[in-house]
């Protein structure tokens, strides 16, 4: 048993020296990149070395290594394809961010400062804090219809002051 445990590292070293060049060659043909090929072959060997004792036919190590290289390569391709499709979906979903309209923001801020305190509070609670009308009414200690009215009057005032017809 002791001889078997001592010969295991020597056996793995011999397998590595004998089979890695072919695995790197196969991986290079799959990837087209020398560094990626070496990484792929190394990963495949490590994966097999951990399972060496459980191989059905240890004499067919080169076949197992070849299959592992191909499987790892295909897994990487699937992962890359998945990442690219994710990025493509999200780049289409999110509009490109443009430069902020600083002048418009300053005008809006100035207009907001000119509003009566309750109207300004209603706008801030509804649109900045993103509270519902009911939640805003609780904070302002008024009815829901009063919040609707405050927001409507504040928006009308801002539209008139800023000269915009947008809502």
Q: Could you report the per-residue pLDDT of 37-63, keeping only the tens digit for each?
A: 999 999 999 888 777 666 666 677 788
pLDDT of residue 95: 60
pLDDT higher than threshold 90 for residue 16: no
Closest CA to 118 of 144, 146, 90, 84: 146
What's the alpha-carbon Rg for the chain, to the nearest Å?
33
Q: What pLDDT score was predicted for residue 53?
A: 66
Long-range (24+ apart) CB contacts under 8 A made by 116-124 are: 118/150, 119/150, 119/151, 119/153, 119/154, 119/157, 120/154, 121/150, 122/147, 122/150, 122/151, 122/154, 123/150, 123/151, 123/154, 123/155
pLDDT computed for residue 34 by the predictor: 95
Please check the confidence at residue 165 and state whether its pLDDT lies above 50.
no
Q: Answer yes or no: is pLDDT of 11 > 60.
A: yes
| pLDDT for 107 beyond 70 | yes
CA nearest to 152, candidates 131, 126, 128 = 126
């Amino acid at each position: 048993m002791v001889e078997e445990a001592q010969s295991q590292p020597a056996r793995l070293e011999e397998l590595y020296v004998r089979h890695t060049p072919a695995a790197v060659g196969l991986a290079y043909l799959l990837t087209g990149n020398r560094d990626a090929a070496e990484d792929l072959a190394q990963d495949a060997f490590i994966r097999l070395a951990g399972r060496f004792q459980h191989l059905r036919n240890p004499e067919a190590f080169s076949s197992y290594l070849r299959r592992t290289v191909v499987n790892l390569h295909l897994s990487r391709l699937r992962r890359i394809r998945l990442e690219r499709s994710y990025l493509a979906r999200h780049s289409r979903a999110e509009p490109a961010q443009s430069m902020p309209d600083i002048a418009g923001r300053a005008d809006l801020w100035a207009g907001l400062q000119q509003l009566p305190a309750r109207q300004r509070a209603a706008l801030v609670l509804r649109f900045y804090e993103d509270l519902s009308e009911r939640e805003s009414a609780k904070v302002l200690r008024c009815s829901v219809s009063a919040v609707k009215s405050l927001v409507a009057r504040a928006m009308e005032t801002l539209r008139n002051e800023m000269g915009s017809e947008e809502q």
